[in-house]
Amino acid sequence: MSRIALILPAILLVAPVLAAQQTPAPQKTPSLAAIPADAAKQANPVKATPESIARARKWWGLDCAMCHGASGDGKGEVAKDMKLQVADFTNSDTLKDRTDGELFYIIKNGHQDMPPEGPRVKTEENWDLVNYVRSLAKKKADTEQKP
């Protein structure tokens, strides 16, 4: 048997393993400190209208509720399973120090254990989600004000 006949299958076997090793290990998404100042300062071009909130509700149910909970209380099933620390967005204190630009960046690029939304949503829909996240706290505040 010629040498090449032995070497070629060996290369074919090893090549995928080498390729897999070259792919970088999945990295943690950026921390809050990594948010560029420009991104943090960016104004929200989408008004928090009922239409915007309604558009975001669909994405919230598909991509966010499993961790953040349908109501935003941070008690989604996946968060429980993965033992993630997820803040309670129904508490109006949680996001009070975040700018809309920071929220946009976090949703787009992910944050620590949170996966990025990335290109799954359009830019406008990403802002809708910012509005939606804010609305979760407002709802609680509204109910709290009621006697």
Q: Give the residue with the Cβ less far from ligand HEC, 48 or 64.
A: 64
Q: Give the residue with the Cβ less far from ligand HEC, 11 or 78.
A: 78
Q: Give the residue with the Cβ less far from ligand HEC, 38 or 80.
A: 80
Nearest to 27, CA basis, from 105, 109, 85: 109
CB of 118 to ligand HEC, least distance (A): 10
Q: Give the residue with the Cβ less far from ligand HEC, 7 or 124.
A: 124
First to last CA, the chain: 89
Q: What span, in angstroms and rounded, lies between the C-alpha atoms of 57 and 143?
A: 20
CB of 68 to ligand HEC, least distance (A): 5
CB of 133 to ligand HEC, least distance (A): 5
DSSP assignment letter at 49: -
Residues 117/36, Cβ–Cβ less than 8 Å = no
Token pair recorded at residue 46 = 């989408």
Token pair recorded at residue 142 = 């509204």
Q: What span, in angstroms and rounded, lies between the C-alpha atoms of 52 and 1?
A: 69
Q: Which residues in this chain contact ligand HEC in the complex, by CB under 6 A?
A: 59, 63-64, 66-68, 78-79, 84-87, 95, 98, 103, 106-107, 111-115, 117, 129, 133
CB of 72 to ligand HEC, least distance (A): 9
Query: Which residues lie across from 29 on neighbouring strands?
Result: 112
* Phi/psi at 114 (5° precision): -90, 125
CB of 13 to ligand HEC, least distance (A): 35
Q: Give the residue with the Cβ less far from ligand HEC, 39 or 84.
A: 84
